[in-house]
Amino acid sequence: MTSPIEHKQQQIETTMRLAPVIPVVVIDDARHAVPMARALVAGGIPAIEVTLRTPAALEAIRAIAAEVEGAMIGVGTVLTARDLQAALQAGARFAVSPGISPRLLDAADDCELPLLPGAATASEAMHLLERGYRHLKFFPAVPAGGPKLLGAWASPLPQIRFCPTGGISLASASDFLALPNVLCVGGSWLTPANLLASGDWAAIELLAREAAELRRPV
Tens digit of pLDDT for each residue in 169-210? 999 999 999 999 999 999 999 999 999 999 999 999 999 999
Instruction: Please give the Cα distance from 7 to 105 (Å, whole number).
Output: 16
| Torsion angle (degrees, nearest 10) of CA 173, 177, 178, 179 | 120
What is 4-208's CATH topology? TIM Barrel (3.20.20)
Instruction: Please give the Cα distance from 82 to 84 (Å, whole number).
Output: 5
Which residues are the active-site residues?
A: 49, 137
Can you give the residue ranges of every domain in the chain? 4-208
- Tell me which residues of the chain have a pLDDT lower than 50: none
Instruction: Characterize the bridge pairing of strands 21-25 and 118-119.
Output: unpaired
Tell me which H or E stretch contains 115: strand 115-116
Instruction: Give pTM, 2 decimals.
Output: 0.96
